[in-house]
Amino acid sequence: MDELMWLTIGIAAVFILEACIYFYWNIWGNGSISTYINDGQRPHQTFKVLQTFKTSTQKIALVEVGEEIWVYSNGEIMFGTKQDENEYAEVIVHVPMAAAKDAKRVLIIGGGGGISVREALRYESLEEIIAVDIDAEMMDLGKRYDRLVSFNKGALNHHKVSTVIEDGRTYVERSLTTWDVIIVDIPEPTERCPSLGRLFSLEFYHELKEHLNPGGVLSIACSTVNLMPEYMWSIEKTLKECGFFTIPFHNFSNKTGVDWGYILASTLPLEPDDIQLKVTTPFLTEGRLRDVLVMPYYLMNKENQGMVQTDQNTVLLDIVKRETDV
């Protein structure tokens, strides 16, 4: 009887231990979906996790939300096959393409999803796009995952597009090429990836300046300015410190309530009225362009609060930590 009792207790203990390990792994530990999708970033409607995997730089989740695919990186939404993604891509690409003297050679840093590349391919004068992404798996998704390829219209496989797997700064520092338009569309630095600050620094902007053709421009993504206005103004102040002429612009998404900020930077003086669209796009009409180039009062009120980001400080990371607790 004692042997049977101890056998039963032993089996129960093993079961409880395995259950605890399972729940720890899948709810709190490394196997938890929360390590791939932050609680605050979960879709509000029914969703299905199609795939999760680790790459050399990040944790990726492919999530089906209705008819859309959302791509998560380290718990945060990176991009998706969504209408607001089309708006975002049109703004970050067509404003600098409209402002540049020429639009023949384009460099896109952070082009793994292929959506911004798709927009740049609208220009008949275009000769070459270099799309740089540090993550080979992310670039491969943009090239081969059918639902993303359908959304980006096969842009990363286009004959005018060359894809490069490398850190964006390292690629620019090694390159002897110059470009008409350079688009930097990368996430903000976080404690998980503080090194991203190197792609927003004064030193890197000097490198980009050396790689612009006469009349060339930069377009820099500045995150969600309704949450972090100082983030955008710090990027602009850094660009000005580098000697660029700058024009801030933004796009408020009626669907998500997010106001995305950007900075246009040029080596030559440039006014908003000088910017005229060269192609027709579904979202960014001439009327919408004027709205994009007019900064709302709540942002202009914070204009003088930016600081210069260098390789030696953590200006942008500090802003992100303070405003989002990331």
Q: What per-residue string of b and e applies to 179-193 under the rule 16 or more CB within 10 Å gives b? A: bbbbbbbbbbbbeeb
Q: What are phi and psi of 77, to 5 degrees?
A: -65, 125
Residue 246 backbone dihedrals phi, psi, to 5 degrees? -125, 150
Full DSSP string of 116-132: HHHHHTT-TT--EEEEE
> 229-241 and 202-210 are packed helices; what angle lies between their axes, rounded to 10 degrees?
50
* Helical ranges in the chain per DSSP H: 2-23, 83-99, 115-120, 136-144, 146-152, 168-174, 202-210, 229-241, 286-292, 297-300, 315-324
- List beta partners, residue 144: none
Torsion region of 110: left, alpha or beta (phi above 0 gives left; psi -120 to 50 gives alpha): left
- Which residues, in sequence order, are CB contacts of 299 under 8 Å at separation 6+? 225, 229, 232, 248, 250, 259, 261
Give dist(CA 130, CA 126) in Å, integer: 12
Strands 179-184 and 259-266: unpaired
Q: DSSP string covering 235-263, please?
A: HHHHHHHTT-EEEEEEEE-TTT--EEEEE
Counting beta carbons within 10 angstroms of the beta carbon of residue 41, is it exposed (0 to 12), middle (13 to 18) or buried (19 or more)? Answer: middle
Tokens 């059918």: give the residue.
146
Closest CA to 323 of 295, 302, 293: 302
- The catalytic site residues sit at 185
